[in-house]
Amino acid sequence: MRRWFPTAAAAAFVISVAASFPAGVQSAQEARLDGFNVIAAPDHPFGSASAKLALANAKRLGARAIAVVPFFWQATPASPDLVRGKDMSDDELRSAIHDVHALRLAVLVKPQVWVPQSWAGAIAMKSGDWPQWFANYRRELDRVARIAEEEKADALAIGTELAGTSQRPEWNELIADARTSYSGRLLYVAHNLEEADKVPFWNRLDSIGLTLYPPLGADNDRIGRLVIMSAIASRLDMLSARTGKPIIVGEIGLRSAKGAAAMPWQSPEERTSSPDLDLQADVLADWLSVLDRPSIRGVLIWDWLTNPNAGGMNDTDFTVQGKPAEHVLMCAWTKQCEHAHAAEAAP
């Protein structure tokens, strides 16, 4: 991979926050969760030599935590027949937690529901199907929670972006059940601030989690996106103050593709584009700077794959592997900022 010289803007912002990231893993309740969402790639299961290398590469960049993402699956948004996905077996989940801990990194087990041609936020049952959906979800979450407990994972997300379900009263019982299976830090990962502001059960959890994929405007409108990011960060401060809970940003990410800033959630399957590696790097640098505040106790990048050769200079997907964004993250997390003098040229 070619060397990358950070833009002056990116360098200035990441250098300003580099000192805020602590070295080493703290106790489970105090540990910051700064790092990556790691996804099991085909032919590179957790526990394999290639997956271990990919995790070691993540640590080399300065990651302090890894979110391991086992998928649940249901055929349609209205189907109550939710089951465990085939992406990761129980043994592979155990291997993931073990291998991350072997690197002295914290582990968040972060299950997500996969809905083909849709997404988790669209899940909504006919009124009579809610009990079955929650029973199935509780069964699969309990299975994951017990492994997280046995392997001493540092935190467990009870759900991710289930915006169409989070007003349901069944979550209260589900959280109580999760407490009996798992003794560590519990959180829920809401879909953006729109859901996070409305979740009724934050008082039952240890941390507030959310994803952040707001529209950020034109690729070249850095001032505009900083205004958007700063407004969101201020609202996160208010949410933390109102609930008395720390914030974990469970996902931020951007494709390394032209036009990605306008709709950061779009996948390559939804829109083809040519690569723009510096855009991804600069947007992540801005996010890390703006989110450097006491209310936020972790930022997890989407994403990193168990294939150590994933990504690269021609890739337009979300992974930062083999791209300039790696150097932005290393600078922020380790203070090892290559060509840091570039910041002196910043206006």
pLDDT at 23: 33
**Measured between alpha carbons, how far is 55 from 295 in angstroms, rounded to an integer?**
28
DSSP-derived secondary structure letter, 308:
T
Single-letter amino acid code for the residue at 248: I
Distances (CA, A) of 215 to 44, 120, 263, 277, 311: 33, 19, 5, 18, 24
Alpha helices in the chain (DSSP H): 8-17, 49-60, 90-102, 130-150, 170-181, 192-196, 222-243, 277-290, 325-334
Single-letter amino acid code for the residue at 213: Y
pLDDT at 122: 98
Q: Tens-of-pLDDT digits for all 347 residues of the chain?
A: 222 333 444 444 333 433 333 333 334 446 789 999 999 999 999 999 999 999 999 999 999 999 999 999 999 999 999 999 999 999 999 999 999 999 999 999 999 999 999 999 999 999 999 999 999 999 999 999 999 999 999 999 999 999 999 999 999 999 999 999 999 999 999 999 999 999 999 999 999 999 999 999 999 999 999 999 999 999 999 999 999 999 999 999 999 999 999 999 999 999 999 999 999 999 999 999 999 999 999 999 999 999 999 999 999 999 999 999 999 999 999 988 864 334 333 33
**Measured between alpha carbons, how far is 301 from 304 in angstroms, rounded to an integer?**
8
* Residue boundaries of the structural domains of the chain: 8-345
Angle, helices 49-60 vs 90-102, to 10°: value is 40
Tokens of 247: 């914030």
pLDDT at 338: 62
DSSP-derived secondary structure letter, 231:
H
**Burial status of residue 46 (CB atoms within 10 A of its CB: 0-12, 13-18, 19 or more):** buried
pLDDT at 30: 63
Give the number of other Cβ atoms within 10 Å of residue 47's Cβ.
Answer: 18
**Measured between alpha carbons, how far is 325 from 84 in angstroms, rounded to an integer?**
32
Strands 106-109 and 83-84: unpaired
Among 22, 53, 25, 20, which residue's Cα sits nearest to residue 38? 53
> What number of helices (H) and strands (E) belong to the chain?
9, 11
Distances (CA, A) of 333 to 60, 82, 232, 246: 10, 38, 22, 20
CB 188 within 8 A of CB 209: yes
CB 14 within 8 A of CB 281: no
Encode 304-334: b = buried (16+ Cβ within 10 Å), e = exposed: bbbbbebbeeebbbbbbbbbbbbbbbbbbbe
pLDDT at 59: 98
**What dotted CATH number matches 8-345?**
3.20.20.80
**Measured between alpha carbons, how far is 322 from 304 in angstroms, rounded to an integer?**
10
Using the structure block, give the residue that is written with the tokens 């289930």.
162
Q: Is 12 left (phi over 0), alpha (psi -120 to 50) or beta?
A: alpha
What length does the chain have? Answer: 347
- Kind and range of the H or E element at 147? helix 130-150
Distances (CA, A) of 294 to 51, 181, 239: 33, 30, 13
